Amino acid sequence: MRGAPGARVTGAGIVRAAVVFGGFLAFPFVFRQHWLINMAFFALMYAGLAQSWNLIGGFAGYISLGHVAFFGIGAYAEAILFRHIGIGADGLVPFFVLPGVGLAVGLVCVPIAWVAFRTRQITFAIVTLTLLFVVQDLAFNLHALTRGSQGLAIPPPTFSLYERPFYLGVLAVFALATLIAWHVRRDKLGLALFAIRDDEDKARGVGVRVGQAKVFTFAVSVGLTAMIGAVWAYYLGFIYPQFAVDPLVQIGSVLPVFLGGAGTVWGPVLGAMILVPAQQWLAYRYGASELYLVAYAAVFLGIMLLLPQGILPSIRATLDRWRDRAAAPEGAS
Amino acid sequence: MSDAGDGSAVAAGPGEVVLEVDGLTKRFGGLTAVEDCSFSVRSGTVTALIGPNGSGKTTVFNLITGYIRADAGRVRFDGKWIRRPDPASLSRRGMTRTFQQARVFGELTLIENLTVGVHQPWWALFRRDVPPDDRAMALEVLEEFGLAGLAEHAARELSYGQQKLLEFASSLMGRPTLILLDEPTAGVNPVMIEVMERRIRDLHQQGVSFLIVEHEMSLVMRLCDPVIVLDHGTKLAEAAPADVQRDPAVLDAYLGA
Amino acid sequence: MHLFVQACILGVLIGGVYALMASGLTLVFGIMRVINVAQGAMVVLGAYLSYSLLTRLHIDPFVSILLTAPVMFGLGVVVHRLFIRTLRGARREELSLLVTWATALGIEGVLSLTYKTTLRSTITSYSGRSWVVAGYRISELRTFGFAMSVAILICLSLVLTKTRFGRSVRATVQNPTSARLLGVNTDRVSGFGFGIGVATAAAAGAVYGMIYPFNPGSHYDLISRTLSIVVLGGLGSIGGAVVAALLLGIAASVVAVTISPIWASFVFFMVLIGILLLRPQGLFGIRERGAL
C-alpha cells in the first residue's frame, strides 16, 4: 500500500501517464461517433468524481456519502450564473469560470467540513448522507433560486464542435484531480492522511495535524466535484434537482474507487473505465424496466463483498507474494 | 523548576520533579478505575509503576497523556499544571508514550512511522513526505534498535516484538525528556527485551527519565528506582525496589483478594 | 399557542413510530458496529407488505404485523448471514455502510418491479378519524401507532434486561471479545439482533404506510431522518434513540405547522449539526479518545 514503489516518480510512471492522457486527449479527434464520445464523457466524468472522492474517501478513509451534493451545487451554480451573464461569442466562458466555481464551493464547504469532522468516521458518513438529502431538498424547495422541480436551463453552446469541448472540459478537470491525487500520494499531506486512516487517535497523539489535513483535503475534493458538476450542467443544458443531486451518482463515484483500489492513483480511473461502460450497457438492456436498479445493486454488492480491496492493490499483493516465493529458495528470509 | 531567563521553561534538573500527578480520578460507569491518585516522578530516574491487575496503571497513563479525560485531578509536566492534557502538545513538549498493545501504523513503512509526527509548519504538508533530514534521523534511531534493515517495509510485516521496538523507537523522535512505557516487555521475546533494556539504560545515561508500567519483576528490580505501587486506582507505596518487595501492604495487595 | 400544542401532540405521536425505527437501527449498531442504511428500505418493505395484506386479504395493518414481523425477522437474519457477516477487517464499519446501501437499492429495485412507482397508502376505516380532547384533534390512527410503538419498545427493553438472550446482547455491545470468551455466540447474537432490527422496521412500516403515502423511493427520506435521530440519541443507545425521536418529532412537527412542511426535513439536519457542534457523542453516547 503506502510503502509501494508506485509512490515515487519513475520513468515508467511518466511514460504511463503520458500514454494514458495522450490517449484520452486524442480520443475525440480519432473517434467521431456521438454515442461514443458521449459515453467517453461520462467515463471521464465518473473517473474525475471517483478521483476527487478518493482524496478523502480513499486516502483518509473517511467515507463521504454526500459528495454528490456538491456536484449538484456546482451544477446549479453554473446554471444560475449563466442566467445572468453571457456565455460569450465562442460559448467557452462556462469553462473558464470553472476554477472560480471550484474555489468558491471549496471555501464555502470549510465550515460544514469542520463540523462534520468533529465526529468519528462512521458518524461522518451519516452526516454527509444527510447532507445529500438536505441539499436535494433545498434544490426542490428554493424555487426562487432553482425553479424547483421545473428545472433550470443553461443557454445552449454557440460552438458547433458538438461534444468535443465538453469532453475536453471534463478531461481537464479529471486531469487536475489525478495530478492532485498523484502529488498528495507523495507529499506529507498524503502521509498524514494515511496515518489518519490507519489510526486517527494515535496520529493525533503523535502530532499529526489531523483537523487541518482532513478539512483541507475535503475542501479540495469537494471543489473538484463541483467543477465536474458545472461541466455536466453545461453539457446537459437542463438540470433537475433529482438528477443534479442523485444518490445513484454518489454510488457511481464511490464504486470505481473500491473496484480499482482506494488510496491508489490509477485505481479510481481503472474502476471508472470498467464500470461506466458496464453501467451504460445495463441501462441500455434494463433501463426501461426497474430491473436496472436490481442489477445495479447486485453489481454494487458483488464488488463490496468480493473485491473490497480493489483490483490494483490485489494485483500488487499477488505480485509481492510471487516475488517473495521466488526469492525464498535463494536464502534465509 | 528553572527558568532559562527568557521565560521559557527548562527541563527539570536531576532530582527535581519532572512529572507530578495530583488527585487523578476516573470512573467508568459504576467502576472507579483511578481514585485520587497522586505521585511524582523525579528527573533522571527510571521509575516503575506496578500493581496487581486492575489497579488502574494503564488508565493512569491514559489520563496523564490525555487519551482519556479525567473526572478530577491535574497533571504537572515541565513545571506547568495542565488541566486537560493533550497528547500532541505533550509530545511536542517532551513527554511521549507507548501503548500496552503495540500501536503502530501498519500500512506505513518504518521510516514513515517514525517521521509522520515530526513537527512541521503547515506549509510543509505539500513538500516531500519524508524530508532527507528526518529520514537520516529515523534511520539512526532504527539502527540503534536493529531495525534499519526493515526501514522500507510496512510496519504490519513486523513481528509483534519488533512492533513494540518500533513503537519505542518512534517515541524517541522528538527527543523527549520523559517517556512513559506501558508494559514494554509484554509478549516480547528475551532477545528483544534485552535490546529494550539496553536502550533504556543508554537513554537514562543521557538524562532521559522513564515511567514504566511493568509486570516483569526481575526487570523492574534490575532497572528501576523508585518503584511506585498502585492498588485499586490509588498509590499504595513508593520505595526502592528491594523495600517494596518486603512491604507487607504490597504483598497483601498482590496476594490478597 | 393552540397551534403549537397541536403540533407538539402530533410530534409526540409520530415520534413514537420514529423511535421504533430508530431503536432497531441503534441496536444493530450497538451489537456489531454496523450502520444499516437499509433500515429505511425495510420500513418501506414492511409498509408494502401490510398494504398488500390489507388489499388482498383484508387483514388490518396492525394485525398484519404478527405476520410481517416474523417474516422480516427471518429476512434480517438472512441478510446478515449473506452480506454482513462476511465483512471483516479494519474498514468493516465503513464498508457496512456501502453494503447496506446496496441492499437498500436492491430492495427498492425489487419493490419497484413488483409495485411500480405509484404512490400508495394503506387506508383503513379509522384512517381519517380523530378524537377531540380539550379542543385538540388527536388522530386515532397515530395514537394506535404510538401505543403499539411503546408496547414494542417496552417488550424490547424487557427482552434486553430480563432474558438470557438480552444479557448476551448487552455483553456483546459492551465488549465483543470478552463476551465471546464467556461463551456468548456473538455471531448468533448479531444475526438475531439484526433480525430484531428489521422486525421493528416491519412494525413501524405498517404504521408508516397508514400515515404517509409511500413508494419504493421513500426510503431515502426515512433513513436520513432515522440516522439523524440515532446520532442525536447517541449511537448504540436505545433510550437515547427514543428521547431523540420524540424531540425531533416535536421539532419537525412544530416547524411543519408553524412555518411550512417543506422545511420539516431540514429541521432534522439542523439539529444534527447543532448536536455535532455541542456534543458530538449525542445525548447518551460516550466519547473517549482512542485508548487501549
Joined together, the cell numbers standing for residue C260 give: 411550512
Interface test with B, best of A188, A196, A212 (most B CBs within 10 A): A188
Flag whether pLDDT at A1 surpasses 50: no
Reported as a pLDDT band with limits 50, 70 and 90, residue C289 is very low
Per-residue pLDDT at A240 = 92
A1/C contact by beta carbon, under 8 A:
no
Q: How many other CB atoms sit within 10 Å of the CB of residue B216?
A: 17
Supply the pLDDT for residue C45: 96
pLDDT digits (tens, 9 = 90+) for A46-73: 999 999 999 999 999 999 999 999 999 9
Does A31 contact C at CB distance below 8 Å? Answer: no
How far apart (Å, rounded) are the C-alpha atoms in residues A77 and C162? 57
In this prediction, residue A5 carries a pLDDT of: 39
Q: Say which range, A237-251, B237-251, C48-62, C103-117, has the weakest mean pLDDT.
A: B237-251
Judge: A206–B91 Cβ closer than 8 Å, yes or no: yes
d(CA C161, nearest CA chain B) in Å: 17
Q: Is the pLDDT of residue A165 over 80?
A: yes
Q: Mean pLDDT over all residues of chain B?
A: 85
Q: Is A9 on the interface with B (CB under 8 A)?
A: no
Judged by DSSP in three states, B23 sits in strand
Hey, what amino acid is at C216?
P
Average pLDDT over residues C56-63: 89
Contact: C290, B67; criterion CB under 8 Å: yes
- Band (A239; pLDDT cuts 50, 70, 90): very high
What residues of A are in contact with residue C83 (Cβ under 8 Å)? 301, 305
CA B234 to chain centre: 19
Closest CA to C95 of B254, B237, A122: A122
Higher pLDDT, A302 or B124: A302
Q: Quickly list DSSP for B99-142.
A: -SS----TTSBHHHHHHTTS---GGGGGSBSS-HHHHHHHHHHH
Give buried/exposed letters for B110-143 (b at 16+ CB in 10 A, else e): bbbbbbbbbebeeeebeeebbeeebbebbeebbe
Among the listed residues B227, B210, B223, B221, the one whose alpha carbon sits nearest the alpha carbon of residue B43:
B210
- pLDDT tops 80 at residue B15: no
Residue A222, classified by CB atoms within 10 Å of its CB into exposed (0-12), middle (13-18) or buried (19+), is: buried
pLDDT over threshold 90, residue A86? no
Confidence of residue B105 (pLDDT cuts 50, 70, 90): very high
Residue (of C202, C282, C208) closest to C241 by Cα position? C282
Beta-carbon separation of A207 and B126 below 8 A: no
**pLDDT-derived band at A289, boundaries 50, 70, 90:** low
* C275: CB partners within 8 A, 6+ apart: C231, C232, C282, C283
Axis-axis angle for helices B190-205, B160-170 (nearest 10): 10
Cα separation, B76 vs B71, in Å, equals 16
Strand partners, B40: B20
Average pLDDT over residues B30-43: 88
pLDDT surpassing 80 at residue A3: no
Task: Tell me the nearest-neighbour CA distance from B110 into chain A, angstroms.
Answer: 9
* pLDDT at residue C71 tops 80: yes
Q: Is C288 on the interface with B (CB under 8 A)?
A: yes
Q: Residue C94: which of A61, A137, A298 has the nearest Cβ?
A: A61
Check C291 against B67: CB less than 8 A apart.
yes
| A176-200: burial string, b at 16+ Cβ within 10 Å, e else | bbbebbbebbbbbbbbbbbbbbbbb
Nearest to B23 by CA among B34, B12, B13, B32: B34
What predicted TM-score, i.e. pTM, was given to this entire model?
0.88
The pLDDT value given to residue C44? 96
Question: What is the pLDDT at residue A306?
Answer: 82
Which is more confident, B56 or A72?
A72
Inter-chain touch C280–A118, beta carbons under 8 Å: yes
Distances (CA, A) of C260 to A129, A186, C229, C255: 23, 51, 21, 6
Pick from C113, C220, C231: which is nearest to A126 by CB? C231
Residue in A184, A206, A321 to test binding to B, most B beta-carbons within 10 Å: A206
> Cβ contact (<8 Å) for B116 and A198?
no
Between A82-91, A252-261, B188-197, B230-239, the lowest mean confidence (pLDDT) is in: A82-91
The mean per-residue pLDDT over the stretch C192-215 comes to 93
Mean pLDDT of all residues in C107-119: 90
Give the Cα-Cα-Cα angle C174, C180, C186 (nearest 5 degrees). 80
Given an 8 Å threshold on Cβ–Cβ distance, is C106 in contact with A131? no
Give chains near C: 3+ CB pairs under 8 A. Answer: A, B
Secondary structure (3-state) at B50:
strand
CA distances from B218 to B53, B181, B221 (A): 18, 16, 5
Q: Which amino acid is at A206?
A: V
Kindly state the cell numbers that stand for A239. 438540470
CB contact under 8 A, B62 and C290: no
Q: Which residues contact B163 (CB under 8 A, 6 or more apart)?
A: B102, B104, B155
Indicate if the pLDDT at residue A42 is higher than 90: yes
Tell the burial category of A33 from Cβ atoms under 10 Å away from its Cβ (0-12, 13-18, 19+).
exposed
Mean local confidence (pLDDT), C4-29 = 90
Contact B68 C290 (CB under 8 A): no
Residue A4 pLDDT = 46
Task: Please indicate whether residue C262 or residue C256 has the higher confidence score (pLDDT).
Answer: C256
Q: What CA–CA distance (Å, rounded) separates B63 from B171?
A: 18
- Say which of B119, B126, B170 has its CB closest to residue A187: B126
Q: What is the pLDDT of residue B14?
A: 67
Q: How far is CA C48 from CA C21, C53, C107, C121, C206, in A?
A: 16, 9, 11, 9, 8
pLDDT of residue C262: 76
Percent of chain C with pLDDT over 90: 38
Residues near C278 by beta carbon (within 8 Å), at least 6 away in sequence: none
Q: Which residues contact A40 (CB under 8 A, 6 or more apart)?
A: A27, A28, A31, A167
* Residue pLDDT, tens place only, A111-132: 989 888 887 778 888 889 888 9
Residues in chain C: 292
What distance in Å separates the CA atoms of residue A167 and residue A27, rounded to the nearest whole number? 10
Mean pLDDT of A100-113: 92
The overall average pLDDT reported for chain A is: 86
Of C49-53, C109-113, C126-130, minimum mean pLDDT range: C126-130
C79 versus A283: the higher-pLDDT residue is C79
Return the DSSP state at B37. E
- Is it the case that residue B3 has pLDDT exceeding 70? no
What are the two backbone dihedrals, phi and then psi, of residue B54, each rounded to the nearest 5 degrees?
85, 5
User: Which residues from A are below 8 Å from C102, CB to CB?
Assistant: 297, 300-301, 304
Q: Do B129 and A198 touch (CB under 8 A)?
A: no
CB-based contact (8 Å) between B58 and chain C? yes
DSSP string, chain C: -HHHHHHHHHHHHHHHHHHHHHHHHHHHHHHH----TTHHHHHHHHHHHHHHHHHHH---HHHHHHHHHHHHHHHHHHHIIIIITT--STTHHHHHHHHHHHHHHHHHHHHHHHH-S--B----TTTT-EEEETTEEEEHHHHHHHHHHHHHHHHHHHHHHHSHHHHHHHHHHH-HHHHHHTT--HHHHHHHHHHHHHHHHHHHHHHHHHHS-B-GGGHHHHHHHHHHHHHHH-TT-HHHHHHHHHHHHHHHHHHHHHT-GGGHHHHHHHHHHHHHHH-TT-SS--------
Interface contact C109-A65, CB threshold 8 A: no
Average pLDDT over residues C64-74: 94
Alpha-carbon dihedral sign for residues A283, A285, A291, A296: negative
Nearest to C272 by CA among C213, C211, C231, C242: C231
Which residue of C86, C228, C266 is in closest CB contact with A305?
C86
What pLDDT does residue C87 have?
Answer: 79
When CB atoms are compared, the residue of A133, A297, A305 closest to C106 is: A297
Flag if A301 and C102 touch (Cβ within 8 Å): yes
- Closest listed residue to residue A132, CA positions, set A151, A111, A112: A112
User: Range with the lowest mean pLDDT among A54-63, A106-115, A249-258, C92-101?
Assistant: C92-101
* Residue A118 at interface with chain C, using a CB cutoff of 8 Å: yes
**A90 burial class (0-12, 13-18, 19+ CB within 10 angstroms)?**
exposed
| B68/C contact by beta carbon, under 8 A | yes
Q: Write down the pLDDT at residue C33.
A: 84
Q: Calculate mean pLDDT across residues B86-110.
A: 89
Q: What is the DSSP letter of B11?
A: P
> By the CB < 8 Å criterion, does A197 face chain B?
yes
Report the distance separating Cα C71 and Cα C195, nearest Å: 9
Contact present, A1 and B108 (Cβ < 8 Å): no
| Residue B151 forms contact with A (CB below 8 Å) | no
Residue C87 has φ and ψ, to the nearest 5°, of -75, 125
Contact A207 B118 (CB under 8 A): yes
Query: Which subunits have 3 or more CB–CB pairs within 8 Å of chain A?
Result: B, C
Q: What per-residue confidence (pLDDT) applies to B13? A: 64
C87 contact residues in A (CB cutoff 8 A): 305
Contacts 24+ apart (CB under 8 A), B5-13: B9/B78, B9/B79, B9/B80, B11/B43, B11/B78, B11/B94, B11/B177, B12/B43, B12/B78, B12/B79, B12/B177, B13/B43
Q: What is the pLDDT of residue A68?
A: 96
Calculate ∠ Cα C77-A296-A318, nearest 5°: 85
Find the CB nearest B99 among C288, C289, C292: C292
Contact B68 C291 (CB under 8 A): yes
Count the residues in chain B.
257
Single-letter amino acid, residue B201: R
What confidence score (pLDDT) does residue A325 get?
A: 83
The H-or-E segment that residue B217 falls in is helix B217-223
- CA gap A62, A121 in Å, rounded: 6
Q: Is A258 on the interface with C (CB under 8 A)?
A: yes
- Selecting from A126, A291, A304 the residue whose C-beta is nearest the C-beta of C99 gives A304
**Number of Cβ within a 10 Å radius of residue B61:** 24
Phi first, then psi: what are they for B31, rounded to 5°?
Answer: -100, 130
- CA distances (Å), origin C49, targets A157, C53, C122, C203: 49, 6, 10, 11
Q: Verify whether the Cβ–Cβ distance A189 to B117 is below 8 Å.
A: no
Reported as type and span, the H/E element at residue A304 is: helix A291-306
Assess A158–C contact: CB distance below 8 Å, yes or no: no
Q: Which of C97, C113, C223 sits opposite A125 (nearest CB)?
A: C97
Contacts of B28 in chain C (CB under 8 A): none
Is it the case that residue A332 has pLDDT exceeding 50? no
Q: For residue C291, which residues of chain B lie inside 8 Å, CB to CB?
A: 58, 62, 67-68
Contact C272 A289 (CB under 8 A): no
Between C34 and B83, where is the model more confident?
Answer: C34
Residue A264 has pLDDT above 50, yes or no: yes
Chain A residues close to B125, C-beta within 8 Å? 187-189, 192, 209, 212-213, 216
| The residue to which cell 518487595 is assigned | B245
Phi, psi dihedral angles at C263 (to 5 degrees)? -90, 5
CA dist., res. C1 & res. A35, Å (int)? 61
- Give the mean pLDDT of A198-223: 91
Segment C278-291 mean pLDDT: 62
DSSP state of B150: G
pLDDT, tens digit (0-9, with 9 covering 90-100), for C136-185: 888 888 888 899 999 999 999 898 888 988 888 888 887 888 888 888 88
Within 10 angstroms of residue C278's Cβ, the number of other Cβ atoms is 8
- Under 8 Å CB pairs connecting chains B and C tally to 18
pLDDT band at A328 (very low <50, low <70, confident <90, very high): low
